[in-house]
Structure 1
Amino acid sequence: MQFIRGLHNLKNHAGSVVTIGNFDGVHVGHEKIILRLVESAKALGLPSVLISFSPTPQCFFGREQATLSNFKEKHQLLDRLGVDKHLLIYFNQTFSELKAKDFIQQVLLDKLNMKHCLIGDDFRFGKKRQGDL
């Protein structure tokens, strides 16, 4: 699995299948999404890309919560599950102010050329959690 640390290290893709989340630990629900991600990517002949954040938005905004696994454990599990690429985005003040539509355009479409996205039911993103897919 390729690890991409930061948006500045992300190269343009010819296409991808994406999931986005904190993935502070990989529980059964996360595992189901990840397995569907890998399966969908293989069916489309595209790389699977998992996007996560450091620190998590909850930690950044002062709502710290316990994690289920440390970074190394999470990375090893993602690799075992067959994820092709793990993009770790640094969550800072500037990123927290990025509007949902700008995240979609700048990251998901312009950089990753996303063709398909799998997310959890309660997933929200963008400034003030205004976006959903």
Structure 2
Amino acid sequence: MFDQPDLTHWHRDVPSLGASVVTLGAFDGVHSGHQALINGAVKSARALGLPSVVCTFDPPPKVFFGRAAQLCPLSVKLARISALGPDHVVVLSFDEALRGLSPEAFMARLTRLQPQEIRVGGDFRFGAKQAGDVSLLARRFNVHVQSPVRCAEGEVISSTRICGLLEQGLTAAAATLLRPGFSPETPA
């Protein structure tokens, strides 16, 4: 899964980089909202002449805690992220050790990337007991919050919403919230 023939560099821990533009998230399903966030980071990084970094988790935290089913396996998620053109993808194992990190320890780990900008969704939480939020992150880093992406009906696109549609058997409706050509069953 980390040997895909493309230009993206894969990491299982946060590498040390000179400077970068980073986006953080679970990115389960890599739906339209995630794509907007990742595309924004890639575009900003290119404008600044810096590498773009997508930092994600395996499994997604909601899956780890049993609050949701996983929308796609890691290999599919990585293929979808890679198709968006980031320079680096960091996959952090969401386990008891990561779960127990304080927000400060998590942010200290991020400093290895020397982020000039961090892009997240407004509901991004991190650290033990989800104690860290966007405002805490913004005290230490230059943070850009992505506006929610909405579907044609005006509803916010989210992994939770997609899972709900799939639970109701509405596969076609769920697929419309993903990138054209992506569906819950197809990798890319």
Tell me the SS of whatever aligns to 2:91.
strand
Separation in 2, partners of 1:71, 1:129: 23
Separation in 2, partners of 1:42, 1:91: 29
Q: Which residue of 2 aligns with 1:21?
A: 25
* Larger RCO, structure (CA 8 Å, separation 6 or more): 1
Check the 8 A contact 2:20/2:115 in 1, yes or no.
yes
Pair 1:120 & 2:85 matched: no
Separation in 2, partners of 1:41, 1:112: 13
Q: Which residue of 2 aligns with 1:108?
A: 110
When the two chains are superposed, the root-mean-square deviation of aligned CA atoms in Å is 1.4
Equivalent in 39, 46, 50 of residue 50 of structure 2: 46
Pair 1:56 & 2:60 matched: yes
Separation in 2, partners of 1:48, 1:122: 21
Q: CA deviation at 1:80?
A: 1.8
Check the 8 A contact 2:58/2:74 in 1, yes or no.
no
Q: CA deviation at 1:75?
A: 1.7
Q: Which runs of 4+ in 1 moved over 6 A?
A: none
Deviations 1:42-93 (A, max 9, x none): 11111111111112212222223241x3322322222221111110001111
Instruction: Kindly tell me the number of residue pairs found equivalent between the two proteins.
Output: 127
Equivalent in 11, 15, 18 of residue 11 of structure 1: 15
Q: Which residue of 2 aligns with 1:99?
A: 102
Q: CA deviation at 1:11?
A: 3.1
Check the 8 A contact 2:20/2:45 in 1, yes or no.
yes
Q: Can you give the 5+ residue segments of structure 2 that lack an aligned partner in the other structure? A: 1-7, 135-188
Deviations 1:97-130 (A, max 9, x none): 111111111x211x11111000011111111111
Tell me the SS of whatever aligns to 1:59.
helix
Q: Can you give the 5+ residue segments of structure 1 that lack an aligned partner in the other structure? A: none
TM-score by length of 1: 0.88
